[in-house]
Structure 1
Amino acid sequence: MASADTTWKLSAFAPKPVVQAALLAHDLIDDWDYELVIAGREVAEDRPDDWELEGWYPRKPGKAQKAALAGLFEGRAPKITVEELPAADWVTLSQQGVEPIRAGRFHVHTPDFPADPDAIDFVIPASQAFGTGQHKTTAGCLEMLGAMRASGMVARNIADIGTGTGLLGFAALALWPRALCTLTDIDPVCVPVVEENAATNGIAMGPRSGETVMVVADGMDDPLIRIRGPYDLLIANILAGPLVELAPDFAKAVIPGGNLLLAGLLAGEQEAAVRRAMGRAGFRMAARLQRGDWAILWLRRRRTR
């Protein structure tokens, strides 16, 4: 019998375009089971065209979860395997191969590694997988934040939507230490994670300049997010589908001339859809990075005449 701490993993292996098409299909589903978290990745660096669609579920997956994953594929779905990942083993596996990363001015590492005195240093436990800096979108956002600061951009009021571990908000606050900072996530589990990471990295929690506030919210739907705005820097490293839906809300929340940093979208169709939505909402491109198959976009809201 599985323990309450067990995680289950579903896997489907297919060529890169097939998995990317499945990720696009996922973005278009409004009633997806939020407990079934999915991601796509290449199997190995020397096999860039072989990808795996991964799903994680807190209980033993049943027919509904397998069918949901299979339904993302056009035509005949690849074989879906299911494996149980006990909590202790999962944490051990998550620590393996998680080397420190250097992303622009930032150095991100687990507690097992020393700090880099020549960088802006953050400690994020590896078990908090998405948001440790290992994922290309997170590392790309850190690079882009450094480029924004180097360009002379000034941020006085920052929001990080879908913050996860808090890393990107912390990084922005390190670059603009007198700014207000608001972190949000749809998942209440992120609150103690952010608070712990803030304490570990010397980030003050609070409503004042140089401090950060954590809000549990679905997108921009929270009165505190509106009260603390408008923002001159809004960060959203989430998924392409929600980014498209949130474009009008971002336009209301960002000041004219303000900055928007977006990630979590694949270069190609997802990027094109996001750029169209942001253009309609009044944003223009300022800069772009691509890390692997992922695009990182810096946009500015057009000034009103």
Structure 2
Amino acid sequence: MSWIVSLPCTRPEAEALSGEIPELDALVEAPVVVTREIDEDAGLWQLDAYMDDKPGAALLKLLQSFVPSAKGQTPVVAELPEEDWVTLSQQGLEPVQAGRFFVHTSSYADRVPAGTTPFLIDASQAFGTGGHDTTAGCLAMLDQLARQGASPRNIADIGTGTGLLAFAAMALWPRAKTIASDIDPASIFVTRDNAAINGVPLGRGGGGLGLAVAPGTDHPSIKHRAPYDLVIANILAGPLITLAPDIAAATAPGGHAILAGLIARQMEPVLAAYRAQGFRLAVRGGSAEWPCLLLIKRRRYGWRRKERAFHRASPSDASFGSW
């Protein structure tokens, strides 16, 4: 038998639980935590935690700590029948459409809209099902970049999670060489499985996806392939700032970087770190609370001198900002 623990929560609390949860990662048998909106008109949200064994007092206390708004409320603990509780947990994951992309779980496999590029990404140990604003913002930014005429030949997805953003980039630029990395080995296993499910070829050459377990860009395969025309990093503000020199070193002059995983008040510190490395902000996308930043690495020539273009910028160039 399996068990479910339910608690009411707010939308900000639900969004905060969409990414990595270190307190759960430290557990030997971590529950699967899913948040969902149960009443759109009333703005009511709920946390559901699925696990194999009956939860003890310590786990219940930990789950309650994630939702301060439910302080004083008793968690609802229920025993589930012998069913696939991972599938049950996915019933709260609505499909996401961002740009041309439609990201869904198995529950929605028969409801893919015509004209979209679909990806089947089930809930797993890795972050990045598309449901969070950061991932959806990156998908929309990739789509916008392609519509503006960008054609990167060498792409790196740093902190890939489920592999979704790397898959989306490969759908947009199928001839590009792409590598996806994550510090968590489980994420790379999940990415490999998702690649098979979605028909994404693995390999080192153009049109194939290379995989690497690595902290940031610190892996021989990532360094060997550099510099990149496009670097995607949907992680957290702290690691983004720490990795700014490494991401700058891995990005070709004139190349793009898509950064996400930060909240609005963290945008300026992140931008400051990347401006110091020669990047400029081209587009600020994403949601109000979860920005997605498109940066361009300035071209340089000579000794520490910025390269200035001698031609007039086209209208499409202007849409990416100026400096």
Where on the TM-score scale, by shorter chain, does this alignment land: which range? 0.7 to 0.9
Is residue 10–residue 81 contact of structure 1 (8 Å, CA) maintained in 2? Answer: no
**Equivalent residue in structure 1 for 2:197, among 200, 212, 218:** 200
CA distance in structure 1 between the aligned counterparts of 2:103 and 2:71, rounded to whole angstroms? 36
**Equivalent residue in structure 2 for 1:35, among 26, 50, 64:** 26
CA distance in structure 2 between the aligned counterparts of 1:173 and 1:197, rounded to whole angstroms? 14
> Residue type of the partner of 1:214?
L
Question: 1:256 deviation in Å?
Answer: 1.0
**Equivalent residue in structure 2 for 1:209, among 206, 210, 215:** 206
Question: 1:11 deviation in Å?
Answer: 7.4
* Residue of structure 2 in register with 1:101 after alignment: 96
Is residue 261–residue 298 contact of structure 1 (8 Å, CA) maintained in 2? Answer: yes
Task: Say if 2:277 is the partner of 1:277.
Answer: no
Deviation beyond 3 Å, 4+ runs, structure 1: 6-16, 31-34, 36-48, 50-67, 77-90, 126-130
> Residue type of the partner of 1:236?
A
1:39-58 map, 5 Å: 45-46=40-41
Is residue 159–residue 181 contact of structure 1 (8 Å, CA) maintained in 2? Answer: yes
Question: 1:128 deviation in Å?
Answer: 6.1
1:144-159 map, 5 Å: 144-159=141-156
Is residue 138–residue 286 contact of structure 2 (8 Å, CA) maintained in 1? Answer: no
> Residue type of the partner of 2:162?
T
Change (3 A) 1:11 1:294: farther
Change (3 A) 1:62 1:161: farther
Long gaps (5+) in structure 2: 301-305, 307-323
CA distance in structure 2 between the aligned counterparts of 1:285 and 1:85, rounded to whole angstroms? 50
CA distance in structure 1 between the aligned counterparts of 2:151 and 2:192, rounded to whole angstroms? 26
CA distance in structure 1 between the aligned counterparts of 2:90 and 2:35, rounded to whole angstroms? 18
Change (3 A) 1:212 1:248: same
1:216-255 map, 5 Å: 216-255=213-252
> Residue type of the partner of 1:283?
F
RMSD over aligned Cα, in angstroms?
4.0
TM-score in terms of structure 2 length: 0.72
Is residue 34–residue 89 contact of structure 2 (8 Å, CA) maintained in 1? Answer: no
1:252-263 map, 5 Å: 252-263=249-260
* Residue of structure 2 in register with 1:291 after alignment: 287
Is residue 126–residue 161 contact of structure 2 (8 Å, CA) maintained in 1? Answer: no
Question: 1:34 deviation in Å?
Answer: 5.2
CA distance in structure 2 between the aligned counterparts of 1:80 and 1:13, rounded to whole angstroms? 11
Is residue 180–residue 212 contact of structure 2 (8 Å, CA) maintained in 1? Answer: yes
CA distance in structure 1 between the aligned counterparts of 2:298 and 2:52, rounded to whole angstroms? 43
Q: What SS does the aligned partner of 1:208 have? A: coil
Change (3 A) 1:282 1:177: same
Question: 1:13 deviation in Å?
Answer: 5.6
CA distance in structure 2 between the aligned counterparts of 1:242 and 1:80, rounded to whole angstroms? 35
CA distance in structure 2 between the aligned counterparts of 1:254 and 1:210, rounded to whole angstroms? 20
Question: 1:300 deviation in Å?
Answer: 0.7
Question: 1:277 deviation in Å?
Answer: 1.5
1:182-197 map, 5 Å: 182-197=179-194
Q: What SS does the aligned partner of 2:258 have? A: strand
Question: 1:94 deviation in Å?
Answer: 2.4
CA deviation string 1:236-272 (max 9, x = no partner):
11111111111111111111111011111112x2222
* Residue of structure 2 in register with 1:143 after alignment: 140
* Residue of structure 1 in register with 2:309 after alignment: none
Equivalenced residues, count: 289
CA distance in structure 2 between the aligned counterparts of 1:183 and 1:208, rounded to whole angstroms? 13
Question: 1:192 deviation in Å?
Answer: 2.3
CA distance in structure 1 between the aligned counterparts of 2:9 and 2:93, rounded to whole angstroms? 23
Is residue 12–residue 79 contact of structure 1 (8 Å, CA) maintained in 2? Answer: no
Greater mean alpha carbon deviation, residues 150-159 or residues 186-195: 186-195
Change (3 A) 1:287 1:123: same
> Residue type of the partner of 1:98?
L
Identity %: 45
